[in-house]
A and B are shown apart, each in its own frame.
Chain A
Amino acid sequence: MVDDPLLRTVDLEKHFGGVKALDGVSIEVEPAKVTMLIGPNGSGKTTLINVVGGALRPDGGKVLYRDEDITYLPPHERYRRGIVRTFQVPKPFRSLSVLENLLVASRAGLDTSAAKILLSTDWAKKEEELIEKAFRILELLNIDHLWDTRADQLSGGQMKLLEMGRALMSEPSLLLLDEPVAGVNPTLAHDIMSHIVKLRDEIGLTFLIVEHRLDITLQYVDRVYAMHQGRVISHGTPEEVMSDPKVVEAYLGD
């Protein structure tokens, strides 16, 4: 029995000049499942993540989250509803330390009111708890020794992990991961994927992942959507999709 999908896109369209990056894309992301988007370069995967995450407005179609139309909501409103994303090219807050990068993502809202900061000291206690929590995530990702390093001093792989750490810190219900293990060494990449599965099983987190490294990731995911030239050409379990002749053709033809 299939649950109601957490996220649905309906006939999404997005053009860049004359190029159709999304050409009627409809997908469903089931709750507490890991769903992966695959496809050759330029097939529209990242555009889809951008539209779902709110970085891009689609030219047509809808994005529904828990049956609410969120197509034109700004990113911070999506965050409030539990949708958080990472970026293919990491976007760390470069002059902040690694620890601070994580704290920014916190859902505690200590940073929303200047007046509260000025007039009380309550936030400091909460902040301590957040720091503890941030450290647990940093330890998990194996970058806790870098906590005081400025984010722009990190290597590419470490920045990827920082992106992941920020996303986890934000306690999402739906995590959009744009190439989470690209540039990460294989051992750590497997660790990250196992952790994703653990989060799915233990707290029912839902994932939508774009990744090229199928050799590592495929074994961890529940559902796969294969895209080609802005369209979904196949979907199902990883086995079903990978044995679909259309998918094989799309990859070979690229």
Chain B
Amino acid sequence: MINLFLLLVDIGTMYGVFLILSASMELEYGELGIPNFGKVMFFAAGAFAVGALAVRLGTWLAGIQWQGEFKTKSILYSTAVSNYFATHPLQALLVFAVTLVVAAVFGAILGIVASYPAIRLREDYLAITLIAAGELFRIFGRNYDPFIGGTMGVGVPDILAWMPPGTKEAGYIALSLSFAAASWLILYRLSTSPFGRALRAIRDEELAAATLGKDIVKYRMKVLALGSAMAAVAGVIYAYYMGSVLADDFNPLKTFLVVLMVVLGGSGNPYGTLVGVAVYIFLDRTLALLKHYIILPFDINYAAMLFFGVILLLVLMYRPEGIIPERPLLTIRAKFCRTKEGKLEKRLCK
């Protein structure tokens, strides 16, 4: 029974994390047409910020004297800080809030930096630039020990340690899903507003949009800042939920999975992300379950990777619009409806 509960916690929390990532990718790629293949870098920005700050802030608040190397002792001290948080919920929430804000700002700044090449480069050059930047960021995290513990990783204190036993896990689900809901609502609201309309106009015909007054540089900057801040928030939640941050976890495969979810669900339609993430998690968990029942002469994780690669190719080939295709969205659709003759009538629809 407890296993089923933990499984649900894991699914729920990861759904939230991936929904935030997909919502940010949908905003950038689905709405504005910038395929952000550096997504994992912004995700890592959030997680690394937590890795670098949470345990340090925690020990400082708890008044614990740090002895020894950061690399070897961070796990130990994060446990000590967790114990402190168990009786000091306010301090725990303070650490969470501070790391969240720092991560979001860090992500947004990185996004603005990334918008500089995004304005000027064709998409494939941009993609390799962002992938490489993300890889260098990962390599830095992996090799510079004082940052996030290098190859050992870093411990992250449990900010929900003060919750009664058994409810803590539900707390993480709630945390993850509430941030996911907020991210998705931001996406939905923007998508179905004049702002989203301008984004899709730029995506469809850049020159015509510029001629009609859209400052394309500014839009790209704003969207990449917002999208990257969102991805960083996903990183924060992920780091706290996992209880540690390991640089090598943030490899380009994560970006690929987010692209898969957005394209599979239907890029250009906010509802697509809800479905895309769900389908991915369902498939991923099913494959994970199969591991226990099937014995293969090779690692089934590779089969899963192959499977997801092929799925994306099949979607691109046979249903490029995804499960839920894009459709023109009216900002205030309710006010306008057709009469029987197909003419427009300007009054509230029944």
Chain A residues positioned under 8 Å from B193 (CB to CB):
110-111, 117, 123
Write the A78-113 contact mask toward B (1 if CB under 8 angstroms, else 0).
111000110100011111110111011101001111
Complex alpha-carbon distance, A188 and B90, angstroms: 71
**Cβ–Cβ contact A114 & B211, under 8 A:** no
**Cβ–Cβ contact A128 & B335, under 8 A:** yes
Complex alpha-carbon distance, A74 and B206, angstroms: 12
Complex alpha-carbon distance, A112 and B209, angstroms: 13
Partner of B328, one of A95, A112, A113, A123: A95
Tell me the count of chain B residues lying within 8 A, CB to CB, of chain A: 38
**Cβ–Cβ contact B208 & A80, under 8 A:** no
Residues of chain A in range 54-68 having any CB-CB distance to chain B below 8 Å: 54-55
**Cβ–Cβ contact B328 & A100, under 8 A:** yes
Cβ of B198 under 8 Å from chain A: yes
With A79-B213, A100-B330, A124-B332: A111-B205 Cβ-Cβ less than 8 Å = no
Q: Pick from A22-30, A38-46, A145-153 the stretch touching chain B.
A: A145-153
**Cβ–Cβ contact B332 & A127, under 8 A:** yes
Partner of A170, one of B189, B212, B330, B338: B212
Cβ of A179 under 8 Å from chain B: no
CB-based nearest B residue for A53:
B211
Cβ of B194 under 8 Å from chain A: yes
Partner of A118, one of B186, B215, B326: B186
**Cβ–Cβ contact A103 & B194, under 8 A:** yes
With A79-B213, A103-B194, A114-B190: A95-B268 Cβ-Cβ less than 8 Å = yes
**Cβ–Cβ contact B213 & A113, under 8 A:** no
With A95-B326, A132-B346: A113-B204 Cβ-Cβ less than 8 Å = no
Q: What's the A-B contact tally at a CB cutoff of 8 Å?
A: 125
**Cβ–Cβ contact A84 & B211, under 8 A:** yes
Complex alpha-carbon distance, A90 and B108, angstroms: 36
- Interface size bracket, A side: 35 or more
Chain B residues positioned under 8 Å from A94 (CB to CB):
204-205
**Cβ–Cβ contact B195 & A111, under 8 A:** yes
Complex alpha-carbon distance, A79 and B212, angstroms: 6
**Cβ–Cβ contact A74 & B210, under 8 A:** yes
Chain A residues positioned under 8 Å from B189 (CB to CB):
117-118
With A84-B212, A91-B208, A95-B204: A123-B326 Cβ-Cβ less than 8 Å = no
Cβ of A235 under 8 Å from chain B: no
CB-based nearest B residue for A108:
B194
With A91-B205, A95-B200: A111-B194 Cβ-Cβ less than 8 Å = yes
Complex alpha-carbon distance, A145 and B340, angstroms: 12
| Nearest CB of chain A from residue B195's CB, rounded to whole Å | 5
Partner of B331, one of A85, A127, A145: A127
**Cβ–Cβ contact A166 & B328, under 8 A:** no
Cβ of A184 under 8 Å from chain B: no
Cβ of A144 under 8 Å from chain B: yes
Chain A residues positioned under 8 Å from B215 (CB to CB):
74, 76
Chain B residues positioned under 8 Å from A110 (CB to CB):
193-195
With A93-B201, A147-B344: A114-B195 Cβ-Cβ less than 8 Å = yes
| Nearest CB of chain B from residue A183's CB, rounded to whole Å | 18
Complex alpha-carbon distance, A132 and B347, angstroms: 11
Complex alpha-carbon distance, A104 and B338, angstroms: 22
Chain B residues positioned under 8 Å from A225 (CB to CB):
none
**Cβ–Cβ contact B344 & A135, under 8 A:** yes
Chain B residues positioned under 8 Å from A95 (CB to CB):
200, 204, 268, 326, 328
Partner of A113, one of B195, B209, B212: B195
**Cβ–Cβ contact A145 & B343, under 8 A:** yes
**Cβ–Cβ contact A76 & B197, under 8 A:** no
**Cβ–Cβ contact B210 & A76, under 8 A:** yes
Cβ of B342 under 8 Å from chain A: yes
Cβ of A238 under 8 Å from chain B: no
Cβ of A75 under 8 Å from chain B: yes
**Cβ–Cβ contact A100 & B190, under 8 A:** no
Complex alpha-carbon distance, A197 and B336, angstroms: 32
| Nearest CB of chain B from residue A96's CB, rounded to whole Å | 6
With A75-B207, A85-B211: A117-B194 Cβ-Cβ less than 8 Å = yes
**Cβ–Cβ contact A96 & B200, under 8 A:** yes
Chain A residues positioned under 8 Å from B226 (CB to CB):
114
Cβ of B110 under 8 Å from chain A: no
| Nearest CB of chain A from residue B233's CB, rounded to whole Å | 15
Residues of chain B in range 149-196 having any CB-CB distance to chain A below 8 Å: 186, 189-190, 193-195
| Nearest CB of chain A from residue B22's CB, rounded to whole Å | 19
Partner of B198, one of A78, A79, A80, A111: A111
Cβ of B216 under 8 Å from chain A: yes
| Nearest CB of chain A from residue B208's CB, rounded to whole Å | 4
**Cβ–Cβ contact B209 & A104, under 8 A:** yes
| Nearest CB of chain B from residue A93's CB, rounded to whole Å | 4
Cβ of B214 under 8 Å from chain A: yes
Chain B residues positioned under 8 Å from A80 (CB to CB):
213
A-B contacts besides A96-B197, A104-B209, 20 pairs, CB < 8 Å: A78-B211, A79-B211, A80-B213, A92-B205, A93-B200, A95-B204, A97-B328, A101-B201, A104-B201, A107-B213, A110-B194, A110-B195, A112-B198, A114-B190, A117-B190, A118-B190, A123-B194, A127-B194, A128-B332, A145-B344
